[in-house]
Amino acid sequence: MSLIQRDLSAFAPVGCRKAPNGGYHICCYDCVPCSEGEVSNNTDSETCRECPKEEWPDEKKVKCIPRIYEFLSYEKDVISLLFLGIVLFFSVVTLFIIGIFLHFWDTPIVKANNRIVSFILLVSILLGFLSVFFFLGRPVDLTCLLRQISFGVFFSIGVSSVLSKTITVCIAFKASKPGNIWGKLLSVNVSYYVVLVCSSVQVLICVSWILVSPPYVDFDHHSYPGKILIQCNEGSDICFFSILGYLGFLAAVSFVLAFMVRTLPDSFNEAKYITFSMLVFCSVWIATIPVYLSTRGKYMVAVEIFAILTSCAGILGCIFFPKVYILLLKPNLNFRKTFLKRNMM
């Protein structure tokens, strides 16, 4: 802070205040610029006036001007339009894959590893992409409430479906011998119960979050001078990280199981795709969480959107693109005789 020494015959300029310099001459004083958040529009002023909460000093610290509201805006931020385009693109791709699966519903490739669970996984991936819309634009109480909860529930259904597919692969391999208990588990469709139970745990966490301390809109006046960050306060950090931790737990279990059975015969090569998809999922979130915690405002939201889009795209690409490739470009492999012949090799 620069100090300008003046005598009483001069005036302290606007944007400054008079301050005793502690010297022997009482006729002299120092001109001290107003502190951050204060203005002085009168010459020879002894004090500075603090700006209201919604305003900030101009460059000369003469008058208060409205603060700039900052959030991830469609109008001002190009990255919002980029995210919007990515969401729309992958949503169309997911709908296209759903249509292909419905068209080839009774073929061996689609039936190979529980087509109902595959359909649930595709729908959860689509909803995961669409949940990004809750993160874009100016936050309000409703979007703050829905953004993390929708993300947590949709992702838990998706990762539970992946875990279910992994368990189905394990059971199907173990059930190759007739009369064992694994065959009975396969016959009762245990995969549906895995999806229901695992996703229900996440739903209970989200309901507890809403009841205990729901998210809400928060106005941050202190992080950046001259700006007001409009952001969502998570309400309970414990609940938020419980959602992430539970997703990480499901993904880790799916990855370990799929990695253990990745060398099964070709008819069960679903495990290889699941291994890669969960590796992508875990890598993205492990790399993203430290960046998320070290940023503020719209940049923090952008980091989470990036993680959501990348992990959804990773699961979609690793698990379903190989099947779509066979369905559309290698239809000769989508026959039961070919399928059994490859299984015997």
Beta bridge partners of 49: 39
Cβ(226)–Cβ(54) below 8 Å: no
Q: Show the tokens assigned to 116.
A: 């109902």
H-state helical runs in the chain = 78-103, 108-111, 115-130, 141-174, 181-187, 190-212, 237-260, 270-293, 297-329, 336-344
Spatial separation of the C-alpha atoms in residues 94 and 55, rounded to whole Å:
46
Residue 71 included in any domain: no
pLDDT band with cut points at 50, 70 and 90 for residue 261: confident
Looking at residue 124, its amino acid is: S
Q: Is the dihedral of CA 245, 249, 254, 260 positive or negative?
A: positive
Strand 55-57 and strand 49-50: the pairing is: unpaired
CATH number of the domain encompassing residue 61:
2.10.50
Cβ(176)–Cβ(194) below 8 Å: no
279 and 240 in a single domain? The answer is yes
* Domain final residue pick, 20, 42, 66: 66
Residue range 224-252: mean pLDDT, rounded: 88
Could you read off the pLDDT of 10-65 as tens digits, one per residue? 555 666 665 666 555 555 666 777 777 777 777 666 677 788 888 888 777 778 88
Could you read off the pLDDT of 248-257 as tens digits, one per residue? 899 888 888 8
Residues across the chain = 345
44 and 108 in a single domain? The answer is no
CATH number of the domain encompassing residue 187:
1.20.1070.10
Strand, coil or helix: 176: coil
Asked if pLDDT for residue 181 goes beyond 70, the answer is: no
229 and 338 in a single domain? The answer is yes
Looking at the structure of the chain, the number of domains it has is 2
171 and 98 in a single domain? The answer is yes
pTM exceeds 0.75: yes
Cβ(152)–Cβ(241) below 8 Å: no
Asked if pLDDT for residue 66 goes beyond 80, the answer is: yes
Residue range 282-287: mean pLDDT, rounded: 88
Residue range 219-226: mean pLDDT, rounded: 82
92 and 188 in a single domain? The answer is yes
Residue 271 included in any domain: yes
Residue 316 included in any domain: yes
* Domain final residue pick, 34, 66, 98: 66
The predicted pLDDT at position 21 comes to: 63
Spatial separation of the C-alpha atoms in residues 162 and 273, rounded to whole Å:
10
Scored b (16 or more CB within 10 A) or e, 197-217 reads ebbeebeebbeebeeebbbeb
Spatial separation of the C-alpha atoms in residues 182 and 17, rounded to whole Å:
83
Scored b (16 or more CB within 10 A) or e, 62-89 reads bebeebeebbbeeeebebbeebeebbee
Strand 28-33 and strand 16-20: the pairing is: antiparallel
98 and 45 in a single domain? The answer is no
Asked if pLDDT for residue 328 goes beyond 50, the answer is: yes
**Which distant-in-sequence residues (6+ apart) come within 8 Å of 269 by Cβ?**
none
Domain limits for position 209: 78-344
Spatial separation of the C-alpha atoms in residues 96 and 99, rounded to whole Å:
5
The three state secondary structure string of 293-325 is HCCCHHHHHHHHHHHHHHHHHHHHHHHHHHHHH
